[in-house]
Amino acid sequence: MSIDAAATTQEGPENPAGTVEGPELVIAGGVRGWLAMHPLLTYALRRFVLYIFTLWAAISATFVFFHLIPGDPIGAYIQNLQTNHIYNVSASQQVVAHYRAVFGLNGSLLQQYVHYLYQLVIKQDLGPSLINYPDSAQKVIGAALPWTIGLLLISTIIAWVLGVLMGALAGWRRENPISEVATYVSVAVSHIPFYFIGLMLVFFLSFKLGYFPSGYAYDANLKAGFTWSFISSVINHGVLPALSIVVVGALGNLLGMRQQMVMVLGEDYLSFAHAKGLRPWKVLRRYAIPNCYLPQVTGLLISFGFIFNGNVLIEQLFNYPGVGHLLVAAIGQLDYNTVMGITNMSIFVVLTAVFIVDLILPLLDPRIKYSR
Amino acid sequence: MRRVLGFFGGLWRKPKLFIGLVLLLLVVLFGALHTPIVHWIGHGTDPMSIGFGGRWEQPSSTHLLGTDAVGRDVLALLVTGLWTSLKIGLLAGVLSTVIGVIVAFYAAYRGGWLDNVLATVTDLFLVIPSFPLLIAFSGFAKKVSLFEVGVILAVFSWAGAARVIRSQVLSLRTRPYIDLARVTKSRDFEIITTELLPNMLPYIALGLALAAIGSIFGLVGLELIGLGPSGLVDLGLLINTAVTGGALSLGAWPIFVAPIGLITILFFALNLINVGLDEAYNPRLRKVAGA
């Protein structure tokens, strides 16, 4: 049920979940018998109920938190209208009430909460955005999402593949001085925030040497479309932010994979494979890697979930028009609908990723038993 | 006491832990000496006042790291900011470790429905994206004290520590010596404090190091995008003023390279301690790694 499913579910008797099989299952004899016959389905069902519950709890918690922020978004919005559009008449009660109703800000916190949940679950609507008023929040987020996903998805995958390959080699050839150096460098670099690497890259490659542009996602003079010049401009602008994520991410993955590899090195089946006379390369590929890459797969799937949050710092540094950039702008204007839309989307994707991982993990690794 | 002495005696044979502790000590010492350093730079005046030196001066003998856009001495800003960051790391790190330890011990030791509830809450805090909440928090915390910032950071970072510790308690509580203590009718509190806690110290230290890294960067991250609580000068604010002030295009590199370097050394030290502790106290790793 947790992110570290791979670690806890293997522990078997130590897992407290085993003790839950008590009074809960005493429903009707028929149902209980049926559940006992289908342990897989029982596991999936219980996991699904927990998934829905966690989803609800997380969304409710963020709702309460954001609405506790003091401030009057509608008042600020109307004031903004008045100053920018020379709309000098003071806003009437009716105008304010109208906007409050549109944004679901009427009544007590509980009424607003019920309104928000109804809107979200029944109508599948995030509500209007304040930051770009007549447009809905999903439209505003939808415009920013492709940039974030494109940038973060590609760099996360590159970082993962590079990291896992290098980590496997570093663990396999543990005594080799190169892998010793690589490990120390990784320990140093993997905890440097992306932002710092990005800042140094911008300074040297963009400001000093002028190889790459320093910000935004494409050249402002170009029209968006499937033309070669536009696509190359997008790639050119994406190199630096992507590189700063890949460097740190790959070295972090290297450490994780190396540790897994070192842990399987002492196992008997590897000695046996060597004794059979298999080439070391084949032992690594067929025996060692398949036994230790699972936590990395779990990690990759879960980090896909966190992609939807955007990377606030990187996007701010490069002025990249993604979700993280939007988030900061939206919080500045207390645009509840957009902010909650982004966080709820991220919560939904992360929880769904964890749920899927928990369901498919036993398929990937037969050693894991369904314990919940 | 013997355990403590043994720990320091064995340090020489744990190079990662040793290097990490030495580096951490050096960084903390540098931060702790901020008053004399600032005094030495200023010669009686405040080196962090506007117009102390010229604008954007390159490093020289009077300004070892140059000056910023309004003529403040970068080295003086650096040590002051470092001290704030260290204090935040310690405060929020300790707070979140304490919360994590209490939650993890109580839940994992007792087991049952309480464990399920607390584990679910822990997982909940791990999936809620904390950075947007921190940004939002900055919206209604314009003038806050160091302590309040520490508490808020701890609220968002205890879950990681709790998870590390919980999984260890789960495996420790089935050991024979715990059963022995139970048979002799020791009280739960007694078992936890005298039997479990001493054996958990390395993992608690590990959780502390992780929480400190997370909290220091939580504040630095807020300051980087210019949304940090006002009145606190930490290393992130230094970088933010450098970037927004145009240090990148002017080539005034010391003002952002120095704080980045310092944070990197600090995180490297904490991370080395982490890895070192893990290798020294995780028997499964020791067996094969020979560390």
Cross-chain CB nearest to A350 (options B116, B127, B257): B127
Mutating which of A59, A255, A331, A372 best tests the B interface, going by the most B Cβ atoms within 10 A? A331
Under a CB-based contact definition with an 8 Å cutoff, are residues B52 and B45 in contact? yes
Residues of chain B found within 8 Å of residue A203, distances taken between Cβ atoms: 248, 253, 256
Instruction: Give the closest-approach CA distance of B43 to chain A in angstroms.
Output: 33
pLDDT in tens, B39-78: 887 777 777 777 777 777 777 777 777 777 777 888 888 8
Q: Is the dihedral of CA B204, B206, B210, B213 positive or negative?
A: positive
Is B264 in the A-facing interface, judged by CB distances under 8 Å?
Answer: yes
Q: How far apart are the first and last CA of chain A?
A: 7
Q: What are the structure tokens assigned to A69, written together? A: 């922020």
Report the pLDDT value the prediction gives residue B234, as an integer from 0 to 100. 83
Cross-chain CB nearest to A262 (options B139, B220, B288): B288
Interface touch A262/B284, C-beta < 8 Å? no
CA distances from A303 to A5, A12, A23, A47, A253 (A): 15, 27, 37, 20, 12
Distance CA B164, CA B158 (A): 10
3-state helix, strand, coil in chain A (%, to 5): 75, 0, 25
Interface touch A13/B174, C-beta < 8 Å? yes
Nearest CA in chain B to A328: B135
Instruction: Give the closest-approach CA distance of A227 to chain B in angstroms.
Output: 31
Report the pLDDT value the prediction gives residue A14, as an integer from 0 to 100. 39
Residues of chain A found within 8 Å of residue B275, distances taken between Cβ atoms: 187
Interface touch B272/A4, C-beta < 8 Å? no
pLDDT in tens, A156-184: 999 999 999 999 888 888 888 888 888 88
Report the pLDDT value the prediction gives residue B94, as an integer from 0 to 100. 93
Interface touch A54/B263, C-beta < 8 Å? no
The string over A19-58, giving b where at least 16 C-beta atoms fall within 10 Å of a residue's C-beta and e elsewhere, is ebeeeeeeeeeeeeeebeeeeeebbeebbeebbeebbeeb
What number is the average pLDDT over the span A271-288? Answer: 87
pLDDT-derived band of residue A13, with 50, 70 and 90 as boundaries?
very low
The total of other beta-carbon atoms located within 10 Å of residue B131's CB is 20
Is B244 in the A-facing interface, judged by CB distances under 8 Å?
Answer: no
Report the pLDDT value the prediction gives residue A159, as an integer from 0 to 100. 93
Nearest CA in chain A to B163: A4
Distance CA B266, CA A50 (A): 39
Report the pLDDT value the prediction gives residue B90, as an integer from 0 to 100. 92
pLDDT-derived band of residue B7, with 50, 70 and 90 as boundaries?
low
Average pLDDT, chain A: 78
**What does R_g of chain B's alpha carbons equal in angstroms?**
22
* B167 CB-side CA count, 13 A: 20
- Any residues with CB less than 8 A from the CB of A229 and at least 6 apart, and which? A222
Nearest CA in chain A to B273: A187
Helices (H), chain B: 2-9, 15-32, 34-42, 74-110, 112-127, 130-139, 146-172, 176-183, 188-190, 197-224, 235-244, 247-250, 254-281, 283-289
Residues of chain A found within 8 Å of residue B287, distances taken between Cβ atoms: 266
pLDDT-derived band of residue B9, with 50, 70 and 90 as boundaries?
low
Instruction: Give the closest-approach CA distance of A188 to chain B in angstroms.
Output: 5
Interface touch A7/B167, C-beta < 8 Å? yes
Please choose, from the candidates A356, A305, A326, the residue with its C-alpha nearest in 3D space to the C-alpha of residue A58: A305
Is B50 in the A-facing interface, judged by CB distances under 8 Å?
Answer: no
* B220 CB-side CA count, 13 A: 30
pLDDT-derived band of residue B192, with 50, 70 and 90 as boundaries?
confident
- Of A154-158, A218-222, B103-107, B115-119, the one with minimum mean pLDDT is A218-222
Instruction: Give the closest-approach CA distance of A225 to chain B in angstroms.
Output: 31
Nearest CA in chain A to B218: A193
Report the pLDDT value the prediction gives residue A372, as an integer from 0 to 100. 40
pLDDT-derived band of residue A22, with 50, 70 and 90 as boundaries?
very low
Cross-chain CB nearest to A328 (options B163, B225, B256): B225
pTM of the model as a whole = 0.78
Interface touch B133/A65, C-beta < 8 Å? yes
Residues of chain B found within 8 Å of residue A195, distances taken between Cβ atoms: 221, 224
Angle at A263 between CA B176 and CA B157, to 5 degrees: 75
Instruction: Give the closest-approach CA distance of B144 to chain A in angstroms.
Output: 15
Cross-chain CB nearest to B128 (options A62, A207, A259): A62
Q: What are the structure tokens assigned to B237, written together? A: 């604010």
Report the pLDDT value the prediction gives residue A163, as an integer from 0 to 100. 92
Report DSSP letters for A306-371, one per residue: HHTT--HHHHHHTT--SHHHHHHHHHHTT-HHHHHHHHHHHHHHHHHHHHHHHHHHHHH-TT----
The residues in B 58-97 lying below 8 A from A, measured between CB atoms, are none
